Amino acid sequence: MFYDLSFSAAAERSDRNPATWRRPLLCWLDAVEAGWAVPLLLAVFVAMWTAYLSIAYSGAGLHPDVLETWTFGRDFGWGYAKHPPLMGWIAGAWTTLFPTSDWSLHLMAMTNAAVALWFVDLVSRRFMAGDKRVIVLLLLMLTPAYQFHAQRFNANSVQLATWPLATYCFLRAFETRNLLWSVATGVAAAITLLGKYYSIFLLISFALAALAHPQRRAYYGSASPWISGAVGLAALWLHLDWLAANDGAPIHHAMTHARSDISTSLRDSLFFVLGLLAAMAVPAVTWIVVAGSRIKHVGAEMAALDNGLRLLFYVAIGTVALPVINAVVMGTDLPSLWALQGLFLFVVVVVGGASYEIKRFHTVNMAVMTATIALAAVTIGAPLHAYYRNSYGYEEGRTFYRQTAEEATRLWREQTGRPLKHVSGTESLALATAFYSPDHPYYALPATAQRHLQDTETNITNPEGWVLLCFEDQQDCIESAEAIAVAGRNSTRHAFALQSRLFGWPGRTRGVVAFLVTR
């Protein structure tokens, strides 16, 4: 109690007579409703965390998930072998405007996170104004979702933006039941599914939340949900046609996660919930400090939510409960990172449901804390991370990506006198070579490479050949590559040792085996 009173007194004094260093931040907060404060916050967020990624990974290549996303995006398609197409479309569009480089894709990842936060703010402004809108964003910036999870731009992180967009459209359709927002909801729902099929849990949560809401008769008695459903199906039609023509390849990939027994699924479900709680730990403690003794009224505030926040609360519960139920029933894996994009729902409900005003003292302190964490990450954390990884490496070998690509390309050109067109082998090295080689060869899965080389007619009409790459300690990869090389009839084997370097400092060493199949 004394702790709460002391903070309240400090807040009162600060708001009456703010320190000089606080005044620019107060001016910034005054401009939230004027329209430029939130864009400025998001621009600084992108700049800081893009700098962090560029420094932290300056001695290493991009994460394999990002390289895979870029690989998918090289050719437009209504689907890809492992995932729905949205992430590939975004990467493909991005790299038509920006260079194919590490900093460019770091910027893409952080821009996606900023767009996600912008859509969250669209949802927030339905229920709150001013400082509370900023508080929602600051609390989310204290989770690992919008920096560390977002950096791996893949089917999971693309949902950071699609979920709040779909939620916003659904809220507007539920409120107005007019044609425009009904159509927008259907399109946004299709977009979420084109990002990742896991988003079906969000869409089902929409339907169940509307069914549990006091205004369910008005909504389901209108044309709105049926228009949304029809539009969503129409927007997905070409993807569904692609799935039918390609034996549902992404669905088969998704089903590889459905191999758990009941005990494993129950354990995964427990860790799923605990992981989400851990991700929310810092913002939760921050909010408790801000709320002080008023936190004891949170139960009553949740019971007194207005109709819009109540709908959002039902959706939030569904996005956690439905994956758990599905995991137990179907025996699927359930990592908590699959659900990080839904954390904004809980933050909006809690902050929007608070019946009291937040003192500027607390909002400014929260902004300073968030900025301090980001600044420390850029100036201290990023260099230490780069140094550590240069010395100890990554399991996937990211510190050797560029060197492997350059050496494989050099060997190929020296032996054949022509650009490298195809690469395979262990996935991480093959994806990296496709990205970092000046020839930008196309990546294919090993099985695809083997079928290609065993087809005599294809070999005659398409004689470019392949490079297959494995780390020397990956015996399974080497054995598979040898089999593919034998099928190619004309092949050579090369082994070379690499050493990572960070601004000239020597680091870890690792060997690579390359098979050059020239015919």
Is 223 among the domain residues?
yes
Q: Where are the alpha helices (DSSP H) in 196-223?
A: 200-212, 216-220
Average pLDDT of span 340-362:
94
- Is the same domain home to 368 and 410? no
Domains in the chain, number: 2
- Is the same domain home to 264 and 320? yes
Is 387 among the domain residues?
no
- Is the same domain home to 263 and 154? yes
pLDDT of residue 461: 35
Q: Of 379, 410, 428, which closes a domain? A: 379
- Is the same domain home to 419 and 321? no
pLDDT of residue 446: 52
Place of tokens 């997905």: 236
Question: Which of 219, 222, 213, 216 lies closest to 307, judged by CA?
Answer: 213
Average pLDDT of span 123-138:
95
Is 390 among the domain residues?
no
Sign of the dihedral defined by the CA atoms of residues 78, 83, 86, 88, in that order? negative
Place of tokens 């927008």: 184
Is 407 among the domain residues?
yes
Distance CA 281, CA 295 (A): 15
Residue 2 has pLDDT above 70, yes or no: no
Percentage helix, strand, coil, to 5, in the chain? 70, 5, 25
Is 141 among the domain residues?
yes
Residues 6 or more apart from 50 whose CB is under 8 A from it? 103, 106, 107, 110
- Is the same domain home to 200 and 127? yes
Query: Where in the sequence is the domain holding 96, given as residue range(s)?
Result: 2-379
Strands (DSSP E) found in 230-294: none
Q: Where are the alpha helices (DSSP H) in 177-248?
A: 179-195, 200-212, 216-220, 224-235, 237-245
Place of tokens 């085996």: 513
pLDDT of residue 386: 94
DSSP code per residue over 406-445: HHHHHHHHHHHSS---EEEESHHHHHHHHHHSTT-PEE--
Is 386 among the domain residues?
no
Contact 157, 112 (CB under 8 A): yes
Contact 71, 443 (CB under 8 A): yes
Burial class (CB in 10 A: 0-12, 13-18, 19+), 32: buried
Contact 405, 437 (CB under 8 A): yes
Distance CA 394, CA 507 (A): 12
Distance CA 194, CA 79 (A): 8
pLDDT band at 5 (very low <50, low <70, confident <90, very high): very low
Residues 6 or more apart from 10 whose CB is under 8 A from it? 361
Query: What would the pLDDT profile of 16-45 be if each residue is shown by its tens digit?
Result: 667 788 889 989 999 999 999 999 999 999
Query: What would the pLDDT profile of 261-278 be if each residue is shown by its tens digit?
Result: 788 888 888 999 999 999
Q: What is the 3-state secondary structure (H, E, C) of 295-322?
A: HHHHHHHHHCCCHHHHHHHHHHHHHHHH
Encoded tokens for 192? 């979420």
- Is the same domain home to 247 and 344? yes
Query: What would the pLDDT profile of 80-89 be if each residue is shown by its tens digit?
Result: 988 999 999 9
- Is the same domain home to 476 and 344? no
Distance CA 236, CA 158 (A): 17
Sign of the dihedral defined by the CA atoms of residues 469, 448, 105, 255, in that order? negative
- Is the same domain home to 348 and 410? no
pLDDT of residue 261: 74
Average pLDDT of span 153-162:
96
pLDDT band at 282 (very low <50, low <70, confident <90, very high): very high
Which DSSP letter does residue 149 get? Answer: I
- Is the same domain home to 148 and 219? yes
Is 391 among the domain residues?
no
**Residue 201: CB atoms within 10 Å:** 21
In percent, the amount of the chain with pLDDT more than 90 equals: 72
Is 100 among the domain residues?
yes
Q: What is the mean pLDDT of the chain?
A: 90
